[in-house]
Structure 1
Amino acid sequence: MALEYSFIIFNRPGDDSGSYHMAVSPDLPDDGLTLDGKPRFIRYNKRPKNDIKKGKVDLDDLKKEVEIEEHRIPLPALCTRLGTDPDLGLSKQQAADILSRDGPNALTPPKRTPEWVKFSKNLFGGFAMLLWIGALLCFLAYSIQASSFDDATDDNLYLGVVLATVVIVTGIFSYYQEAKSSRIMDSFKNMIPQYATVIRNGIKMTAPVEEVVVGDLVEVKGGDRIPADIRVIYAAGFKVDNSSLTGESEPQSRSPECTNSNPLETKNIAFFSTNCVEGTGKGIVINTGDRTVMGRIANLASGLEMGDTPIAKEIAHFIHIITGVAVFLGVSFFIIAFILGYHWLDAVIFLIGIIVANVPEGLLATVTVCLTLTAKRMAKKNCLVKNLEAVETLGSTSTICSDKTGTLTQNRMTVSHLWFDNQIFDADTTEEQTRSSFNRSSKTFRPLSMVASLCSRAEFLPGQDHIPVMKRECTGDASESAILKCMELIEGQVLSFRERNPKVCEIPFNSTNKYHVTVNQLSSHNNDYGDCRYVLCMKGAPERILDRCSSILINGEQTTLDSKYQKAFNKAYMELGGLGERVIGFCFLPLPNKDYPIGYKFSSEDINFPLDNLCFLGLISMIDPPRAAVPDAVAKCRSAGIKVIMVTGDHPITAKAIAKSVGIISEGNGTVEDIAEKRNIPVSEVDPREAKSIVVHGSQLKEFSQDQLDEVLHNHTEIVFARTSPQQKLLIVEGCQRLGAIVAVTGDGVNDSPALKKADIGIAMGIAGSDVSKQAADMILLDDNFASIVTGVEEGRLIFDNLKKSIAYTLTSNIPEISPFLLFILADIPLPLGTVTILCIDLGTDMVPAISLAYEKAESDIMRRKPRDSKKDKLVNERLISISYGQIGMMQASAGFFAYFVIMAECGFLPNDLFGIRREWDSKAVNDLSDSYGQEWTYANRKILEFTCHTAFFISVLLTC
């Protein structure tokens, strides 16, 4: 196979003046080395040509962390490396050459499984294959009989046709019910923008996204999707929504500065297919198509192989048992038939008959219908099952790897605490406002609520007056929306208050200053601030706000901000931050009328008003609160022996706080850091084995070996993984599976899709989930609620219990179906039970009761049991076989034979005279067969008696079920 090598170093065209925004890292010169000191080859590719087009994906490579250095090197060096200009972009010829070299900026679709192959798997996979073998053996037996005997019956032909019909109907049903086709790549394609704004030769133009190449200079604005992975070189209020990629629910600001060595956390990279929610930006393309972060995730998710589900393994185990029993009995009686002197053709027909008699014809349909009924029941409880086998898999789950945002929490930022007058107060966010813990007329709270209401861009969408405040939709980011709702509940009519105190100047929040400023003209009715007609309001990062203040408002009195109050601030800030809450500081300054009279022209560019010596008011903290039902659900999981692991892209402090509040980290247990703090000793002196809980940062996980990860998963019962990447989520799932766990994974973003695909059961969010996550998952939570998973686990355990009952019930009829055939061979008696009546049992009277067992209620201890051990607790085990065959089956067979011999005796054939008369009985030429009393029977009369016995045997089996 031809290998494609390319060593391409571009010289920068145009001038070298550097007249552009630079994200300068002066300590990283472009010396031809990588950041770790190794020789760098520019655009070096060593891979079989067209490998991706042929569907060859190196999954081990895709599972590695994203390694990008383009965000850390100086901008001039990057431009030299890529042969581009930060003002003019590439030339059209350069772009064409690079497009020819790298291929289009598109995700390469993997090899698709044809629909006919998927249908064939449903038609011939698992238990269906056993029935097909049975049908073929029936046709073989019929053909042998028809070619060898003139008086051959059609029973085997009927049985073969019925078996084939059952398999085909059930296969079609399964194909449509399960909808196994995975359209993951289609979902990724839906996320890709169609056109992009690029600058080539200094000319702005619109180009198809497929034609965007590495080195292109692109522009994006609010509402656009990012057309490739880009290095940001200019930003004006540029924010992107990375939630589908990293799990961060807040819009992330982008700027030219490199703020983190991790490419997923730095501010100077915007990723392919993420959304620009506001502002404008300009950047240089550093990766396209399959080489983007999104492309790696897409190829990883679509390239992962899914193993067999637990129920599929159980059915395979059951098939092995049934096949073993059938073949053993068939071969045994084939040999016995020879010993007894039967013709070899008769012996072959006996062999086939015994094997077919062991096949429970109705079981495939019974299992499929039971799973479907349970899936419908789960759908009513907000669990939509895409793959029928996933119904039982959820019940086998021993580990749940849950996302935090929207699954354990409400995905709705809510104000939780306020700090003013040197006290922390709980916020009351109920509609009734009956649990307020502070005086709303406080002379400190009034200006705090004023600033919180005025210094904000969040607004309620129109037409929601009839909707409860906490459920209203807002414009603006999550934090501002939370504060708006809180102020609306406490003060009421916030938007009207803003109209009475209009904004005349504003400095928007940016990542450099980390504050937001408004200047508002006070209402003529507002006499709280003397003759001041304007007030400056500021909010932002608490430490930045405090730095701009020289005084603090305590009980309505302005007091010097001395070390005492600074310590009080730090204590409150640390306490609220330690709860995992997002904390915002507030300050203000009434502007005296003599300096800022009515009509004063405030300017946000040439700032002509004070931004220092302000008066600090207080703190407001907020958190995405846990769902009310989650703590109970986690407790149920614990009592059911299921380990719940939190895997989130959020900050470790926030993740730990939520984990404690929902019970993933239980009260009394702690991490090594908690133990060290409690004992007032260094962390290094704590034995890690003492800590049942652990919080692992993504940067730590990145350095873990496989053994270290396994050790964490094995030795700790309460685990939180924070700041994780998509590849790390996948490694966590694989680690749990290595330890023998049946793993369920929840997720809603594109970043979750590889883990969802790899898990034994992937669970996507129906409301907040992306199309990609829903396509990768086996089940969708319609209400995004973790508690619904626990309901699903209970249903999964129940269906396993009920399937055991259904299978046990179905198998009991095997003995009364096989034993008549065995006596027919061994004792040479007329056949006690015919093929038609066997079909009546298997596909008629057995199926409805077996299916009805799917409606059995759960045992009282179903959620107090440990998860099923797949090695010991089988769907079909020795005990079930012994009860079905050895006890109930023998009782049914005995009842059937009793009825058979009684009817024969009543009609003149005593039991001892039945032995050895099979040949004469079945011969059409014999019309004078004598019974025990000397009466002669014609062939037709004998068959009427035989069919009467079949009916009696059938009724006896039915009544003893």
Structure 2
Amino acid sequence: MTDYQKVKKDQNVKLSSLIISAFTQDMNDLQQKEIQRKINSLTDGFKKIAIRQALKRNKYLSNQSDEEQSKLRQGESYKFIDAHRIILEELLERYQTDIYKGLTDKDAKLRSLKQKNKIKIITQNSMLKRFLKELLTLFHLLILLASILCFILYSQQKQFQMLVTAILLLCFVIISSIIGSYRQRKGQNILENIEKSIPKNCIVTRDGEDRQILSINLVPGDIIKLSEGMTSPADVRIIASTDLYVNKEIYTGSSIEEYMHPECSNKENPLNTNNIIFLGSKIVRGKAKCLVISTGVDTLIQDLGYKCSQEDYFPDSQLKKDFDQFLNIVSIVLISITIFTLLINLGKSEIFGMQYHLQYMIGMIVSGLPLGMIILKTSYLLIVQKQLNEENIDVNYIEAIAILGQTTCICTDMTGTLTLNKPIVSNIWYDDKARLAKNKQLALPTEKLQYNIQTDKTLIELMYCATLCNDSNFDDRLPQQIIKEVVNNKKMSFEQKKEKLQKEQEQYTKDLKKKQWIDWPCSGIHHNENALIKFFQPLKDIRIIRDEQPIVRDFIKNKAKIPFSISSKFSSVICRNNKENSHYTLYTKGAPSVVWNMCDKVMYKGEVQSKNSSWEIKFEKILQLYGEKGERVLAFAKLDLPQEEFDYNFQFNMTNPNFPLNNQVFIGLISQLDPPDYGSANMVRICKQAGIKVIMLTGEESLTATQIAKSCNVITMQTQIELNKELNVGEKVAFQEAQALVIDGEEVAKILTREEGLPKKQKGLILKEYLRKPEVIFSKVQPAHKEQIVKTLQKTGYLVTATGLTIRDTPALRQAEVGVSFAIQGDQVAKDTSDIKLQNDQFITLVKGIEKGRLAFDNLKKSVTFCLSSTVSQIAAFIFFYLSEMPFGLTPIQVFILDIGLIHLPALLYVYLQPEIPVMERKPELSNQVNKKMIFSSYLYFGWFSLFAGFLAYFSVLSDFGLSYSDVKGLSALKVYVPFVGDEYDPQSPWLGNSLLRHIYPCDSSKNYETNQTFLDWQYDSHIFFDLRLAFAECQKDGSWKSTFIKEESQQNSYNLCQNLGLNIFNSRPNCYTTETFKYAQTAYLYASSLVMIIQYYISKSKIQSVLYDRIENLAIPSGIFLQILTLLIFTLIESINDTFSTRKLDLKYYGWFGVPFAILLVILEELKKKLIRDQLSNSKQQKQKNVDQEADPEKKSLKEEEKKDKKENEGFEDEKDNLIYKNMHFNQEMQNKFKFFIKKNENTWIKRNILI
């Protein structure tokens, strides 16, 4: 391909991108006209090619779902901004405006009609909508159906218990829906805060006149004027400026003002250029004339804010999805089982009462659904949230707590997180000597320092330069937190507050004076300047230095300073010196290379020497030395201005300097190091031990980032840079072979640029390969890259926790499973949109949060397992009794009490359990909160113990009343002759004493008397006061009635038993042959199954440790057991309550004893299982210790390494021989590098084999 063809191809690609953006972006008319103009400028052939490429790309986009298209279009508008690099004349032509006259009123009005300069506030779902969405889930609809069925039954039977059940279920479904829709997110709509910062008015040039208009009426193409104290009302391009400094904290997170000017300083990235001011940026100083390039919804802040404010950008957490999915599955299975069993009974020849079917449906819903699951989960996480608050962690989204415990990768910032963000002076270089710069106050009295302020004249000049060219001061003012506490105290009067503040200030100053200077707070916003004054203050009071050489005033009466800027990379100050031949001294501080180039002389032992090649070599060597240490280096220089040119009346111009900046005298270098945070290295080690990958993302240079990463254990192996430097194998081979990578932000930008336009499946493959390495850090990375890095990590299979500082980090914070912001360094937008906020900005706090999250995740699984195990026993009981056509073993209201009082509330106390083994000594669990193992334990294991215990109790009580299983089977399906009040059973009477039967005596066995029959109320109190032998009657051939309630062979037996037991055991109630018998059986069922559940509750608190030798560490579990027993006693012993809930007082032998055998069996099985787990862990631990011992033994270690080495060498040799030697040595540069790497790694083996290359 010729150069001409390459140029034309590039033009086509760029034009294609423009056409694509026209298809895929909501571009304004001006942008579309610009695209049309560029299309028309091409020849027909190239135009067709470009349009064909654009249509092909548009077809790909149209095939994507709406959701995927929105993700492609949103949050990346800055990529289409080119206004910063286009020459001004072309830009004015694009916007059809005049630099002096501005727009005409007519044009402005026409443009204003299409779009106002107003940020679009995203309307999010209200609490009511979220509540209705949660209420209409299948889970809650089933509970609501059960409540409605209860109301229907109450309308028919007028049973108070049914009304109570209906109200309880209705209240429960409302509360559960409210809690399920609860989201504790702060600042979901971040655009509201931004909108408040936009000024209402602005000065605009229209028709050649300056006028004040409402900012909402600004349009693209307007010429506006900005001055000190204003906020930019739109995205603007600077046309002309005077001493302009802008604070872009909302975009960069840095409170340092940047020097802005009309020239483009970064053509690639408009976010980092100095000629664009984005909406919301504050003008700190100076003034500017600007061209409006974007307004309202087209601004960058709208694009960033829109992505982070959409409702669908706050998706449900994986925890909520797991719970919702499980509840839906349970609901569907429950519906299927219920319908199937209903069809079985409805298909029988004898159809029994609809009330019984409705009671069964209610029972199945109440027993089959884990009612308190949502409330349990939310309440559980709220308790953990409170615990995390005590660890300096604010939780904005409570479900992030459990997800935090599953984290497998942390993407963390460096400064202030892994480091203290408090740089200290570490080394100084002057007089051609590098010296360790230990702070004098930290040195021992007898310790000899490597510098001497008394004898080193160059050091004195270095001290003066570093102190005077410095805006930092020691701050003895009362901290704002103390002031706020006093001012906000409503109990104190104004005078009391004033007096209190005065006392606090005196005490604070007194306490400060006891501290060393290095511990004093500073007022400077630049940490490097704070470090300088803390180092030099013990040598000489900085106030004396500044009094000796005060800063002069410029021609506009401001201090004669040139502030530091990203473009200039230096700052200067002019001070009065009172020397014989000079009145003023220019002091300069800045980047070493910049300051060095401003100098032509060097100070050596107080004398000035010419800068020659020898000094150049020395300077390069010391810079390389400090660079390898990862230290930030500042250079210092001075220039005494001659008094002949600069007398006392000279007017300095600091904007357009009227004094020399070059030909200065180089004084020396000061290097600084931001120390790792206390314990951060150990915390990173713990994370790696816990299976969590730590990736550092920083804007620092590669060398600095690498050194900090090594000091914090983020990198412990050789990087690709070091590997290439050592073996000289080339970058590609070094990348492939190194286990630790240092990736530059420019490399990330290149990768992302190359991948634009590729299909979704092909994106991120290169980054994936990088991120699969064990250790990775990113240097000079831009916030815009963070989201892509997080996405790639997620595609690779990691569950990511990411940290962020600014609004530009919010896409990454939202993309990550858990977004973490910083209370001290972070801006408000990042804080409001993150899931978790660290109050002290420390990495150690984040690791503690992960540890708490893991413990919470483990304990929550124990709670869920315990809660689910009760449902199988309840639902199986209802199915058994329904298919057997027997009175139910439990009523719906009893099941409800069992679930809430005996299961879910005690399960909540699992939150206070301590870990059995340290949670950070194992790999993270990536399984769902409700997984197959948990379902097996709950439904197929634990639940059946309580079920069989309940059955044993139920039928034992019935047996004691003389009723066998065959006697009660089918009772609920039979209609009976309900006797009148006062009727007594008389077996000698032809109508058995039933007055209803007396009216149709003698009976005719050939006739059907069904019209006189009705179904009994077995669950409640409608039919408890008559003898069932009166109701169950059969017409005989002789015209008399015969009781069929109990078979003939057991009638006498049961009669004698009831006579003996009726008044003694069961509290003087008429029990035999009444529905009251089943109330006692139900209560016994409740006690027996509850006893097993209590034992299960206790043994389930541990998965490894034996409960037989377990110590009670806190009162959580005993409190839960006490709550369970108390609930049982309250609902069974208090007569006014047990009548409502259909429970009865029992004899002592029925209070749960039937559950003892099953509880003992459960304990034995659990102890055996735990013993197996302990043995397995012990064997694993012994094997690890054996490996450690072998590593520690030099002979064993040497032998083991030799074996591995030989094996690897043999494999490697054969591979290399096949690939290289057998191909006659014809290989490219990459293969040569690999071959070279292989030889150096296996040098000894190759020598042994006498292989010559």
TM-score by length of 2: 0.66
1:90-489 equivalences in 2 (<5 Å) = 90-101=103-114, 103-125=115-137, 129-137=138-146, 139-140=148-149, 143=152, 157-173=163-179, 175=181, 178-179=184-185, 182-247=188-253, 250-262=256-268, 263-303=270-310, 305-323=313-331, 325-327=333-335, 329-338=337-346, 343=351, 345=354, 346=356, 349-350=359-360, 353-412=363-422, 414-428=424-438, 432=442, 438-441=451-454, 442-460=456-474, 463=477, 467=512, 478=526, 481-487=529-535, 489=537
Q: Select which of 889, 897, 916 maps to 1:832.
A: 889
Deviation per CA, 1:81-125: give whole Å up to 9, x if none. Answer: 333343444344443333234x22221223432331023234445
Q: Structure 1 residues 294 and 580 mapped into 2: Cα distance closer, same or farther (>3 Å)?
A: farther
Counterpart residue identity of residue 508, structure 1: I
2: distance between equivalents of 1:193 and 1:55?
Answer: 35
1: distance between equivalents of 2:92 and 2:673?
Answer: 42
Aligned to 1:677: 725
Q: Select which of 794, 804, 810 maps to 2:867.
A: 810
User: Could you tell me how far 1:166 is from its partner in structure 2?
Assistant: 1.6
2: distance between equivalents of 1:415 and 1:905?
Answer: 89
Counterpart residue identity of residue 667, structure 1: T
Identity of aligned residues (%): 27
Counterpart residue identity of residue 957, structure 1: S
Task: For residue 933 of structure 1, give the secondary structure of its aligned residue in structure 2.
Answer: helix
Task: For residue 825 of structure 2, give the secondary structure of its aligned residue in structure 1.
Answer: coil
2: distance between equivalents of 1:772 and 1:755?
Answer: 13
Q: Structure 1 residues 767 and 206 mapped into 2: Cα distance closer, same or farther (>3 Å)?
A: farther
2: distance between equivalents of 1:215 and 1:543?
Answer: 41
Q: Structure 1 residues 463 and 248 mapped into 2: Cα distance closer, same or farther (>3 Å)?
A: closer
2: distance between equivalents of 1:131 and 1:609?
Answer: 79
* Contact 1:66–1:293, Cα closer than 8 Å, also in 2: no
User: Could you tell me how far 1:370 is from its partner in structure 2?
Assistant: 0.8
Q: Structure 1 residues 273 and 777 mapped into 2: Cα distance closer, same or farther (>3 Å)?
A: same
Task: For residue 874 of structure 1, give the secondary structure of its aligned residue in structure 2.
Answer: coil
Q: Structure 1 residues 702 and 376 mapped into 2: Cα distance closer, same or farther (>3 Å)?
A: same
User: Could you tell me how far 1:209 is from its partner in structure 2?
Assistant: 2.3
Aligned pair 1:78/2:133, yes or no? no
1:650-661 equivalences in 2 (<5 Å) = 651-652=701-702, 654-661=704-711
Aligned pair 1:717/2:774, yes or no? yes
2: distance between equivalents of 1:192 and 1:57?
Answer: 31
Aligned to 1:15: none
* Contact 2:376–2:904, Cα closer than 8 Å, also in 1: yes
Q: Select which of 655, 675, 680 maps to 1:630.
A: 680
Q: Select which of 891, 897, 903 maps to 1:846.
A: 903
* Contact 2:366–2:896, Cα closer than 8 Å, also in 1: no
1:529-548 equivalences in 2 (<5 Å) = 535-548=585-598
2: distance between equivalents of 1:615 and 1:534?
Answer: 14
Q: Structure 1 residues 98 and 839 mapped into 2: Cα distance closer, same or farther (>3 Å)?
A: closer
Q: Structure 1 residues 887 and 8 mapped into 2: Cα distance closer, same or farther (>3 Å)?
A: closer
Q: Structure 1 residues 32 and 86 mapped into 2: Cα distance closer, same or farther (>3 Å)?
A: farther
User: Could you tell me how far 1:380 is from its partner in structure 2?
Assistant: 1.8
2: distance between equivalents of 1:607 and 1:900?
Answer: 99
User: Could you tell me how far 1:157 is from its partner in structure 2?
Assistant: 4.9
Aligned to 2:942: 888
- Between 544-553 and 922-931, report the one with greater CA deviation: 922-931
Q: Structure 1 residues 57 and 885 mapped into 2: Cα distance closer, same or farther (>3 Å)?
A: closer
* Contact 1:507–1:604, Cα closer than 8 Å, also in 2: no
User: Could you tell me how far 1:452 is from its partner in structure 2?
Assistant: 0.9
Deviation per CA, 1:509-528: give whole Å up to 9, x if none. Answer: 466765444343347xxxxx
User: Could you tell me how far 1:550 is from its partner in structure 2?
Assistant: 3.5
- Between 73-82 and 341-350, report the one with greater CA deviation: 341-350
User: Could you tell me how far 1:747 is from its partner in structure 2?
Assistant: 1.4
Q: Select which of 564, 579, 601 maps to 2:614.
A: 564
Aligned to 2:923: 866
Deviation per CA, 1:424-463: give whole Å up to 9, x if none. Answer: 4454469646596543433322110111112234445563
2: distance between equivalents of 1:552 and 1:901?
Answer: 103
Unaligned runs of 5+ in 2: 1-22, 52-57, 59-65, 479-508, 554-559, 756-762, 977-1015, 1030-1044, 1063-1069, 1095-1253
User: Could you tell me how far 1:250 is from its partner in structure 2?
Assistant: 4.1
- Between 294-303 and 412-421, report the one with greater CA deviation: 412-421
* Contact 1:452–1:586, Cα closer than 8 Å, also in 2: yes
Q: Structure 1 residues 945 and 325 mapped into 2: Cα distance closer, same or farther (>3 Å)?
A: same
Q: Structure 1 residues 891 and 621 mapped into 2: Cα distance closer, same or farther (>3 Å)?
A: same
Aligned to 2:670: 620
Counterpart residue identity of residue 895, structure 1: A
How many corresponding residue pairs? Answer: 912
* Contact 1:416–1:623, Cα closer than 8 Å, also in 2: yes
* Contact 2:950–2:1089, Cα closer than 8 Å, also in 1: yes
User: Could you tell me how far 1:613 is from its partner in structure 2?
Assistant: 4.3
1:560-959 equivalences in 2 (<5 Å) = 560-589=610-639, 599=648, 601=650, 603-604=652-653, 611-622=661-672, 625-649=675-699, 651-652=701-702, 654-664=704-714, 666-670=715-719, 672-697=720-745, 698-705=748-755, 706-712=763-769, 714-725=771-782, 727-869=784-926, 873-909=927-963, 913-917=967-971, 919=974, 924=1023, 926-928=1027-1029, 932-934=1053-1055, 942-959=1074-1091
Aligned to 1:26: none
1:35-54 equivalences in 2 (<5 Å) = none
2: distance between equivalents of 1:933 and 1:608?
Answer: 120
Aligned pair 1:508/2:545, yes or no? no
1: distance between equivalents of 2:418 and 2:730?
Answer: 32
1: distance between equivalents of 2:632 and 2:600?
Answer: 24
2: distance between equivalents of 1:56 and 1:712?
Answer: 24
Unaligned runs of 5+ in 1: 12-28, 42-46, 48-53, 524-528
Q: Structure 1 residues 236 and 858 mapped into 2: Cα distance closer, same or farther (>3 Å)?
A: farther
Q: Structure 1 residues 455 and 189 mapped into 2: Cα distance closer, same or farther (>3 Å)?
A: same
Deviation per CA, 1:740-775: give whole Å up to 9, x if none. Answer: 332222212111122222332222222333332233
* Contact 1:395–1:795, Cα closer than 8 Å, also in 2: yes
TM-score by length of 1: 0.84
* Contact 1:900–1:953, Cα closer than 8 Å, also in 2: yes
* Contact 2:150–2:165, Cα closer than 8 Å, also in 1: no
Task: For residue 379 of structure 2, give the secondary structure of its aligned residue in structure 1.
Answer: helix
Q: Structure 1 residues 237 and 314 mapped into 2: Cα distance closer, same or farther (>3 Å)?
A: same
- Between 292-301 and 343-352, report the one with greater CA deviation: 343-352
Q: Structure 1 residues 682 and 557 mapped into 2: Cα distance closer, same or farther (>3 Å)?
A: farther
Task: For residue 215 of structure 1, give the secondary structure of its aligned residue in structure 2.
Answer: coil
* Contact 1:517–1:538, Cα closer than 8 Å, also in 2: yes
2: distance between equivalents of 1:537 and 1:322?
Answer: 76
1: distance between equivalents of 2:733 and 2:881?
Answer: 79
- Between 633-642 and 704-713, report the one with greater CA deviation: 704-713
1: distance between equivalents of 2:563 and 2:377?
Answer: 59
Task: For residue 233 of structure 1, give the secondary structure of its aligned residue in structure 2.
Answer: strand
2: distance between equivalents of 1:378 and 1:358?
Answer: 34
User: Between Structure 1 and Structure 2, which shows a larger proportion of helix residues?
Assistant: 2
* Contact 2:140–2:177, Cα closer than 8 Å, also in 1: no
* Contact 1:191–1:273, Cα closer than 8 Å, also in 2: yes
User: Could you tell me how far 1:133 is from its partner in structure 2?
Assistant: 0.2
2: distance between equivalents of 1:221 and 1:626?
Answer: 41
2: distance between equivalents of 1:293 and 1:652?
Answer: 29
